[in-house]
């Protein structure tokens, strides 16, 4: 195996150097438990667009085939395939308006390495999908800045030129109308769009593309499956993946933590290896590509899967962490690739409380619970309530409900039901016919 996949403690840490990859289910072959024993992705190469700072396409730990090549374009100064880009041989550089997405920052190469570093070549690290084709679309310059028009154009490019997965480890507070429309377009065309939740420790709903409905929003977790403090949270978060001290590829002559001016960082501190070819970094930027990589492996395993099925397989099989059930820190939980690769594409069991509001009807006050209780084979659902912020026990608050519902009023309570405390935890539990349950919690604060 690759030396840095096997090693641990290289920079004095207590974990494997590639703890994140192992955490999500890519362990040594021969154990019967590794995701790679189901597929390594090589049988069916899947194009993954990395919309970022570019790529070091000469990196020795990337298979030459990993860099996507436009099959219908030649270097002749003519737009052979008529896609509007002249000589776009391996992607496009939307920053400078040319065909060279060379990475002068390092961020995009790091993201690309998580997805598709050369596993099993006896050098460096391993990546999630050995067969992936990375379509590098450069939208950010050497200090990680770019225009939103470039991001929108890159999303269209990826969609029109065969990408089945788009990784967006970029973003800021604002999302432009053009970006929103581009994401909607890619979604309509069946592309899986994966977005980092952002690193401002705030609500991802207000963090650019991470707050758009049609994307998979990825938060970052640590070695104990806890959300890392910088990782944005909120109802927009769908899933979490490792995002601390993630080891990947270093683009030649880059040190992006230094350029970003991270407090207390000394130049070269995150560079790894005697040849200085590797780099470790923390952020939701490096959690998202684990999800993109696994999405591409699912498609490699079964190219007929659609985006909805791919998403469902990852979300429904995620390992529940933080508060039981779907929560605002980690969504469905931490990505589990081995489980996702074994998941039934049709299976789902959902429980979600979107809102709890006080309404008045016929001069009577009512507490209305809005949400979703649904499954592909729905058995039943019910709501329980517990007193205080951390209830020691829950009591039944509703009858057993036999009909699935989506995005609608699940129940109305008489406020009198909730006496003796101004804080209650509501717990919605949905049960699948096969016995699997999922729950969602909501903190009810009474005035
Ligand atoms: Ca072209
Ligand atoms: Ca040409
Ligand atoms: Ca390697
Ligand atoms: Ca949870």
Q: What is the reported pLDDT for 146?
A: 86
Q: What is the reported pLDDT for 333?
A: 98
Q: What is the reported pLDDT for 145?
A: 85
Nearest ligand to the CA of 330 is: 4
pLDDT at 14 over 90: yes
pLDDT at 446 over 90: no
Say whether both 305 and 378 belong to one domain: no
Say whether both 400 and 258 belong to one domain: no
CB half-sphere exposure, 299, CA atoms < 13 A: 25
Give the pairing type, strands 395-396 and 378-387.
antiparallel
Q: Which residues have CB less than 5 Å away from ligand 4 (the ion)?
A: 320, 322, 327
How far apart CA 416 and CA 421 sit, in angstroms, is 11
What's the pLDDT tens digit per position in 70-113? 999 999 999 999 999 999 999 999 999 999 999 999 999 999 99
Say whether both 157 and 8 belong to one domain: yes
**Catalytic entry in 107, 110, 187, 432:** 107
* Domain count along the chain: 2
Work out the percent of the chain whose per-residue pLDDT is above 70. Answer: 100
Mean local confidence (pLDDT), 179-196: 97
Cβ neighbors of 67 (< 8 A, separation 6 or more) are: 55, 57, 90, 133, 134, 136
Q: What CATH number is associated with residue 440?
A: 2.60.40.10
Burial of 438 (0-12, 13-18, 19+ CB in 10 A): buried
Question: Could you confirm whether 350 is annotated as catalytic?
Answer: no
Q: What is the reported pLDDT for 429?
A: 97
Geometric angle at alpha carbon 443, from 441 and 447, rounded to 5°: 155
Burial of 189 (0-12, 13-18, 19+ CB in 10 A): middle
Distance of CA 230 to the CA centre of its chain: 16
How many whole angstroms from 237 Cα to the centroid of ligand 3? 31
Q: Which residues have CB less than 5 Å away from ligand 3 (the ion)?
A: 2, 61, 118, 121, 123-124
How many whole angstroms from 101 Cα to the centroid of ligand 1? 15
How many whole angstroms from 103 Cα to the centroid of ligand 3? 20
pLDDT at 308 over 80: yes
Say whether both 334 and 361 belong to one domain: no
Number of C-beta neighbours around residue 352 at 10 A: 21
How far apart CA 401 and CA 398 sit, in angstroms, is 8
pLDDT at 236 over 90: yes
Consecutive H or E run containing 24: none
pLDDT band at 204 (very low <50, low <70, confident <90, very high): very high
What's the pLDDT tens digit per position in 138-172? 999 888 888 888 999 999 999 999 999 999 999 77
How many whole angstroms from 148 Cα to the centroid of ligand 2? 26
Question: Could you confirm whether 432 is annotated as catalytic?
Answer: no
Q: What range does the domain containing 401 cover? A: 349-445
Q: Which of 280, 193, 293 is nearest to 241 (CA)?
A: 293
Phi, psi of 65 (to 5 degrees): -65, -20
Q: What is the reported pLDDT for 409?
A: 97
Nearest ligand to the CA of 92 is: 1
Say whether both 338 and 409 belong to one domain: no
Say whether both 9 and 130 belong to one domain: yes
Give the pairing type, strands 271-272 and 278-281.
antiparallel
Average pLDDT, the chain: 96
Question: Could you confirm whether 414 is annotated as catalytic?
Answer: no
Say whether both 314 and 381 belong to one domain: no
User: End of a domain among 342, 375, 397?
Assistant: 342
Number of C-beta neighbours around residue 395 at 10 A: 9
Beta strands in 236-361 (DSSP E): 239-242, 246-249, 271-272, 278-281, 349-361
How many whole angstroms from 293 Cα to the centroid of ligand 2? 30
How many whole angstroms from 236 Cα to the centroid of ligand 4? 14
Nearest ligand to the CA of 328 is: 4
How far apart CA 440 and CA 290 sit, in angstroms, is 25
Q: Which of 369, 383, 296 is nearest to 39 (CA)?
A: 296
Sequence length of the chain is 447
What's the pLDDT tens digit per position in 380-432? 999 999 999 999 999 999 999 999 999 999 999 999 999 889 999 999 999 99
């Amino acid at each position: 195996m690759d030396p840095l996949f096997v090693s641990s403690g290289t920079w004095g840490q207590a974990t494997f150097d590639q703890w994140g990859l192992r955490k999500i289910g890519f362990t040594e072959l021969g154990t019967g438990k590794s995701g790679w024993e189901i597929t390594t992705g090589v049988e069916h190469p899947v194009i993954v667009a990395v919309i970022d700072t570019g790529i070091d396409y000469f990196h020795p730990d990337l298979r030459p085939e990993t860099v996507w090549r436009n099959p219908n374009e030649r270097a002749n100064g003519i737009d052979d395939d008529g896609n509007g880009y002249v000589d776009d041989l391996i992607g496009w550089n939307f920053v400078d308006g040319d065909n060279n997405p060379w990475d002068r920052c390092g961020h995009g190469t790091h993201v690309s390495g998580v997805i598709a570093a050369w596993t099993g070549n006896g050098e460096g690290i391993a990546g999630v999908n050995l067969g992936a084709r990375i379509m590098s679309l450069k939208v950010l310059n050497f200090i990680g800045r770019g225009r939103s028009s470039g991001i929108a154009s890159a999303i269209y490019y990826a969609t029109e030129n065969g990408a089945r997965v788009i990784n967006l480890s970029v973003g800021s507070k604002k999302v432009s109308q053009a970006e929103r429309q581009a994401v909607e377009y890619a979604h309509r065309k069946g592309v899986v769009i994966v977005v980092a939740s952002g690193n401002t420790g705030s609500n991802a709903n207000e963090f650019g593309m991470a707050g758009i409905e049609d994307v998979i929003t990825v938060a970052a977790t640590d070695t104990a499956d806890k959300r890392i403090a910088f990782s944005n949270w909120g109802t927009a978060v769908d899933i979490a993946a490792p995002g601390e001290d993630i080891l990947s590829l270093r683009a030649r002559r880059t040190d992006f933590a230094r350029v970003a001016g991270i407090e207390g960082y000394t130049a070269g501190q995150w560079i790894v290896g005697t040849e200085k070819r590797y780099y470790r970094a923390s952020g939701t930027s490096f959690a998202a590509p684990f999800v993109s990589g696994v999405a591409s492996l699912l498609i490699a395993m079964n190219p007929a899967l659609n985006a909805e099925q791919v998403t469902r397989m990852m979300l429904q099989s995620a390992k529940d962490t933080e508060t039981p059930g779907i929560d605002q820190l980690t969504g469905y939980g931490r990505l589990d690739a081995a489980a996702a690769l074994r998941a039934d594409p049709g299976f789902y069991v959902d429980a979600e409380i979107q809102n709890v509001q006080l309404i008045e009807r016929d001069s009577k006050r009512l507490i209305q619970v809005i949400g979703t209780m649904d499954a592909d084979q729905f058995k039943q659902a019910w709501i329980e309530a517990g007193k205080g912020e951390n209830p020691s026990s829950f009591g039944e608050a509703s009858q057993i409900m036999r009909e699935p519902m989506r995005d609608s009023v699940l129940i109305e309570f008489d406020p009198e039901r909730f006496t003796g405390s101004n804080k209650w935890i509501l717990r919605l539990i949905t049960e699948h016919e096969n016995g699997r349950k999922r729950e969602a919690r909501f903190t009810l604060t009474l005035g």
